[in-house]
A and B are shown apart, each in its own frame.
Chain A
Amino acid sequence: MAMSVEEVEAAIIEKAKKAPKPQLYIKDFYKCAPDMKPRQIKKIANKLVEKGELMFWSSGSTTMYARPDRIKDEEGAEGIN
């Protein structure tokens, strides 16, 4: 049975909490909902940014996702890489 949006959101948050590195590529979230199309997962991840559960982290050329608390814990409040 296909996962609900809420279930996918929970799986993405869990992944972002437990991944070895705080910054994740959008592809890293695909396995959270194997039956869902990547563009749908991207939309859910971006909604989580709006809700404050995730934040964008940019290397300048690539944009990644991270849990705000992990970025602050591991990089300092400025998030400087």
Chain B
Amino acid sequence: MAKHDTPMLDELEKGPWPSFVTDMKRQAETHPECWDILGQLELSYEDRITHWKHGGIVGVFGYGGGIVGRYSDVPDRFPGVEHFHTVRVNQPAGLYYSTENLRALMDLWDKYGSGMTNMHGSTGDMILLGTRTENLEPLFWDLTHDLGQDLGGSGSNLRTPSCCLGESRCEWACYDTQDICYALTMHYQDEIHRPAFPYKFKFKFSGCANDCVAAIARSDFAVIGTWKDDIQIDQAAVKEYVAGNYPANGGAHKDGDWGPFNLKKEVIDLCPTQCMWMEGDELKIDNSECNRCMHCINVMPRALRPGKEKGATICIGAKAPILDGAQFATMIIPFIEVSKDNEYENIIDVIERIWDWWMEVGKNRERVGETMQRVGLPTFLSVMEVEPIPQHVKEPRSNPYVFWKEEEVPGGFERDIVEFRKRHAA
């Protein structure tokens, strides 16, 4: 029995697609507070303004993240959502759950919360939507003690690191994404649970350039698997693809009416750097021109494989639009070894070089990508102690001014700044 009239929301139940309104009405049968979400949302549609307030001091003791406070600004009308806090639960690496674990989590959330979830948030966390302040500590106790799970990151913390499923199922993974994700999650517990930075900071780990966790678009620090040497070619398998004996794209498009596989049209002509060609019935690749887009490997997985000398590219500074619009991460380190033998020491060194600089130079609420944009790439590369390479250059410069440091000019130069300022005031 509906507690509130929701004519506008009811419109969203029409049509063939799934409806969150229907889902919430069903949930309201066991959690009556869900009626108040619908009632408040209907009111927001009428008023054309949100009736949620967020923020405040809610959390669990010792943690400065993982819980996001939510309150209704019309609690008298909708008492079920007077408090409606969000809880972020750190997901397992690669998003592998057992059904037993999922059932235990849902039982926990039925006990302490609204039962509503958002699987998953942008950092991969399981988002549990809607509980009261007094339920937070008991929920946290059961989560950590009975289920052995922890809260994720929020606010100006290191956000919950996430990764693709990597070597567990994918033949293209160039490093063990799940291992590094877990190792760095444990290494940076303090940064995940307590505020550390001018603003949020996200790690994401993709095993190859297919980038299944969209690290390059969504993370401040994207570690994307790559290789240094040549793409491995099995010429016999290439012939099988050409003959139509192996399905292209692993059979993903076998039901489409695409006609027989055409290697020139579907692979060679689509290579973004035009670095492939046929010599007789042999496929040739100029690997020095390959930009690791993965297209040819995706189309002919039995004939082509990533090289043997594997590692990762580090791209820094992606973000969603708040200040200057959305931006992809910038490639900073073209190749770095990723090895559990050294406990990822070299990756940690890069991360902490960024943090030490950004914590000093970054403005409040400024993502590292925005700080990079503000100071310019040459300054950032110099901070990172990375030698500029042609791949750092996106386009020919439009700024005609070139500034040289003394050590960059053979023979150097001398300038008395005091004397100079006598003639040219700053």
Contact = CB atoms under 8 A, between A and B. Distances in A.
Given A26-B156, A38-B360, A60 B54 contact: yes
Contacts of A61: 155, 199-200, 365
B254 interface: no
Given A27-B364, A46-B194, A71-B57, A38 B64 contact: no
A16 B5 CA distance: 47
Interface string B41-53: 0000000000001
Interface in B130-150: 133
B207 interface: no
Chain B CB within 10 A, most for which of A26, A62, A75: A62
B198 A59 contact: no
B56 A79 contact: yes
B196 A78 contact: no
Contacts of A59: 54-55, 155
Interface in A25-81: 25-27, 30, 37-39, 42-43, 46, 49-50, 55-66, 71, 75, 78-81
B196 A39 contact: yes
B59 A43 contact: no
B57 A63 contact: no
B225 interface: no
Nearest to A41: B359
Interface size class of B (residues with CB under 8 A): 35 or more
A25 B198 contact: yes
A72 to B, nearest CB: 9
B307 interface: no
Contact of A80 (B59, B71, B196): B71
Given A55-B57, A80-B53, A63 B190 contact: no
Contacts of B356: 37-39
Contacts of A56: 57, 59, 63-64, 155, 194-195
B65 interface: yes
A57 B198 CA distance: 14
Interface residues of A, number: 30
B62 to A, nearest CB: 6
B155 A58 contact: yes
Contacts of B62: 49-50
B367 to A, nearest CB: 11
B402 to A, nearest CB: 32
Chain A CB within 10 A, most for which of B56, B57, B59, B63: B57
A32 to B, nearest CB: 14
B160 interface: no
Contacts of A43: 190
A71 B359 CA distance: 26
Contacts of B68: 58, 60
A9 to B, nearest CB: 16
A20 to B, nearest CB: 15
B364 A49 contact: no
A62 B155 contact: yes
B56 A25 contact: no
Contacts of B54: 59-60, 81
A59 B57 CA distance: 9
A46 B200 contact: no
Contact of B55 (A26, A39, A55, A81): A81
Contacts of A80: 53, 55-56, 69, 71
B195 A26 contact: yes
22 contacts: A26-B196, A26-B359, A27-B359, A39-B196, A42-B195, A56-B57, A56-B59, A58-B56, A58-B57, A58-B59, A58-B65, A59-B54, A59-B55, A59-B155, A61-B200, A62-B195, A63-B156, A63-B157, A64-B195, A79-B57, A80-B53, A80-B56
